[in-house]
Structure 1
Amino acid sequence: MRRLVLIALLGSIAQLVDGTLGMAYGVTASTALLITGITPAVASASVHLAEVGTTLASGLSHWRFGNVDWRVVALIGAPGAVGAFAGATFLSSLSTESASLWVAGLLLLLGVYILVRFGTGKVRAVIEGRPAGKFLGPLGLVAGFIDATGGGGWGPVANSALLSSGKLTPRRTVGSVNAAEFLVSIAASIGFLFGLGGKHLPFDLVAALLIGGVIAAPIAAWLVSRLATRWLGVGVGLVLILTNARTVLNGLEVTTGPRYAVYAALVLGWAAIVTYGVRTAARRTVREAERLLDETELEPAS
């Protein structure tokens, strides 16, 4: 019972992170489950089964508020489902040792991405448009495969690529990617059920994750307007990097001295990115203030 309560709490934390950052439910929940000693394939399967419920609720909410482009959902969701099924089958076939290294490596890279994205504070201009199918198809395939094999990654990969394309507004990007994730979660879950067998999946754990996420969803919606999501992203990125770096170093049997040198280098890199982000934000604030001051001075006196 104590374990289920802990898993529900971890599910709530993952949902709070996802609700405020717009991503990272899967990578946060998977990392937390791996820490508790669950095997990588079972952890990813549990997360995706829970996400069938959370992504359905999220997709319907975005549709209700007009944030979904159904063409984008179809063109990215169908290939994403194929990639997720393939990724789930691939992960299920790996040994526990190989899977641990693979998943930790992917989560480590996703942690670096989240840290850089939120730490640097760079904002890209986005122009309303229609992304091409030849762009959405391969993107969905790759993002779905990474999501299933890493226990998460659909949001970071798909959202970042769509926003970088400059063809879809942020709200449409997030809404469409969230709606398409429902298909990805179903396909990944089916792949894990075939690969692992239903008897190997802890459905009580899945229920605990789902309940925790549902409870946290309205809290996350309330927090999103009150928290500095940028610094939450920086913190989550650091936790993902350090936690999964430990797993990778253990798997590679790195000795104590070099291991702590790697940890120190990671923390220094994190500090450098944060410092750069703070300075960039400060310069942007100064430029904006100067622009407003110039506009005020140019206004004719009444």
Structure 2
Amino acid sequence: MENEQQIDKSLTTTAIARINVFEDKLMWFIAIVIYSVIAVLFFGEQRLINLAHETSNWLGKDFYSYLAVGLAAQLVDGTLGMAYGITSTSFLLGIGVPPALSSTSVHVSEMFTTGASAVSHYKFKNINKKLFKTLLIPGVIGAMSGAYLLSEVLDGDVIKPFISIYMFVLGLVILRKAIQKNVPKRKTKKVGLLAIFGGFMDAIGGGGWGPIVTSTLLGQGRNPRYTIGSVNAAEFLITLSSGITFLWFGGVNSWQIILGLVLGGIIAAPFGAILINKVPRRPLMILVGSVVIFLSLRTILKAEADFIEYWNNLLALFC
């Protein structure tokens, strides 16, 4: 009974930290609304309509798709406290964005959210310093290695099906986490290797640090408050390192995607803060896991069809 009360208290503190992050984003949202009203009063409605039309043409026709992806991913992350990268990457791959651009865009946009989350967890004393230090360096090494390989070595068209398979597995992990019951605490081993793997796969796949590292540590019975707080705090520096690596080797070739994800996240943040205590966690996790699995299967099947078509065309040349 005492252990259950401790877990409830830990999760409540973590939820408060997440709400604090969304309060910061809510201020940005309110500021945008206020400045929009001032702009209408100062410049006039018709002039702003023309400006909006010109801006829309400048951003490109796909910008609103990226905006919708950012909105959906932030709603999921705001309610569950995880799966931003998985959700956004699955949707981006589904609409045809190459793996390197997807991962770059997701990690650069995550710099804004993970930084605020890390500060909040530090403020609420949710961080286990020993666990944080154990995760940090290996996680950064794994993330930078994955970002370099995806930017400079790996062919996006070749690796895309494998990333979709990885996303499929993460979808299963989310479903498993939704139905898993509390387990007794076991001694945590090889946390450094777990961090390297989590950081590497997060950079290569565009998401997965939380589901891989947090789920594994919680599955070993660790305290939810300090586990979630420490993993989220480390995620900021890991996301920062992979984002900088992507930008260093690949340049800023996806600013429309980044802008769409960031603006979508800002718009969705207040609603995520509201939904955090309104939407049942388990059904939403099942829904998110199912959507990720569906999108991943769709990409895998499309890649298989393209592969078969390629070989048929190749054989036709020799027949």
Using the size of structure 1 for normalisation, the TM-score is 0.76
- After superposition, the C-alpha distances for 1:52-82 in whole angstroms (9 at most, x for unaligned) are 1110011111222221223222210221111
Cross-structure match for 2:7: none
Over the aligned positions, Cα root-mean-square deviation in angstroms equals 2.2
Q: Is the 8 A contact 2:94 2:298 kept in 1?
A: no
| Contact 1:50/1:210 (8 A) holds in 2 | yes
Residue-by-residue CA offset, 1:85-126 (whole Å, 9 max, x unaligned): 1111122222222121121111111011111221x2422245
Distance in 1, Cα, partners of 2:184 & 2:300: 36
Cα distance in 2 for partners of 1:254, 1:232 equals: 33
Name the aligned partner's letter for residue 247 of structure 1: T
8 Å contact 1:41–1:91 — kept in the other structure?
Answer: yes
What SS does the aligned partner of 1:252 have? helix
Would the alpha carbon gap of residues 50 and 138 (structure 1) be closer, same or farther in structure 2, given more than 3 Å must change? same
- How many percent identity over aligned positions? 40
Residue range with higher mean Cα deviation, 19-28 or 61-70: 61-70
- Asked whether the 8 Å contact 2:108–2:243 carries over to 1, the reply is yes
**2:286 matched to which residue of 1?**
234
Counterpart residue number, 2:218:
163
Name the CA distance, whole Å, in 2 between partners of 1:124 and 1:8: 39
Separation (CA, whole Å) in 1 of partners of 2:115 and 2:306: 42
**Residue 140 in 1 paired to residue 195 in 2?**
yes
- Paired residue total: 248
Which stretches in structure 2 are left out of the alignment for 5+ residues? 1-55, 309-319
Question: Which residue identity is paired with 2:155?
Answer: S
User: Contact between 1:126 and 1:170, CA under 8 Å: does it hold in 2?
Assistant: no
**1:181 is aligned to 2:250:** no
Amino acid across the alignment from 2:132: V
Shift of 1:255: 11
TM-score under structure 2 normalisation? Answer: 0.72
- Aligned counterparts of 2:167 and 2:147: Cα–Cα separation in 1: 16
SS at match of 2:207: coil
Shift of 1:48: 0.3
Q: 1:43-58 to 2 correspondence within 5 Å? A: 43-58=102-117
Equivalent position to 1:123, from 182, 185, 190: 182
Matched-pair contact (CA < 8 Å) for 2:98–2:157: no
The answer to whether the 8 A contact 1:154-1:181 is kept is: yes
Deviation at 1:84?
0.6
Measure, in 2, the Cα distance between the counterparts of 1:39 and 1:237.
22
AA at the equivalent of 2:217: L
Residue 245 (structure 2) aligned to one of 186, 191, 205:
191
CA distance in 2, matches of 1:80, 1:95: 24
Residue identity in the other structure for 1:163: L
